Amino acid sequence: MAAAPSDPPRQRLLRVAACTGPEVALVVDGQAVTAREGESVLSAVLGVVDHLRLHEVSGELRAGFCLMGACQDCWVWFADAPRGRACTTPVREGMQVFTRPPPGLLP
């Protein structure tokens, strides 16, 4: 069913130019996400949902702030690497991203 013109978009970012690189499949919090080679994890996530994580204290929705690696507002966890910034980490085929600390890891 098509969304009505007045429905707000579910995703936070809207593409203004076509991404033409090869498709990259990743998993974010157990959900399959398709991105394009060269895209950041933050861009891939915000292309399908309206936030990246919840604020640790207030619980408010967060979607990154600076988008260039300076503010620390986009930290996520990776299954095969240390915690990192979603805005400066390029997507990789098969990568698993967690927007909340995975069980057994410290926040």
31 is a contact residue toward ligand FES (CB under 6 A):
no
One-letter amino acid for residue 22 of the chain: P
For residues 17 and 8, what is the distance between their CA atoms, to the nearest angstrom?
Answer: 20
Interface residue with ligand FES among 64, 76, 91, 99 (CB under 6 A) is: 64
CB-wise, 31 or 72, nearer to ligand FES?
72
41 is a contact residue toward ligand FES (CB under 6 A):
no
CB-wise, 23 or 65, nearer to ligand FES?
65
Taking each continuous run of H as one helix and of E as one strand, the counts in the chain are 1, 7
Task: Please name the residue that has the structure tokens 């990246």.
Answer: 52
Interface residue with ligand FES among 24, 41, 85, 91 (CB under 6 A) is: 85
What per-residue string of b and e applies to 77-94 under the rule 16 or more CB within 10 Å gives b?
Answer: bbeeeeebbbbebebbee
Residue numbers of the site for ligand FES (CB under 6 A)?
A: 64-67, 69-74, 85, 87
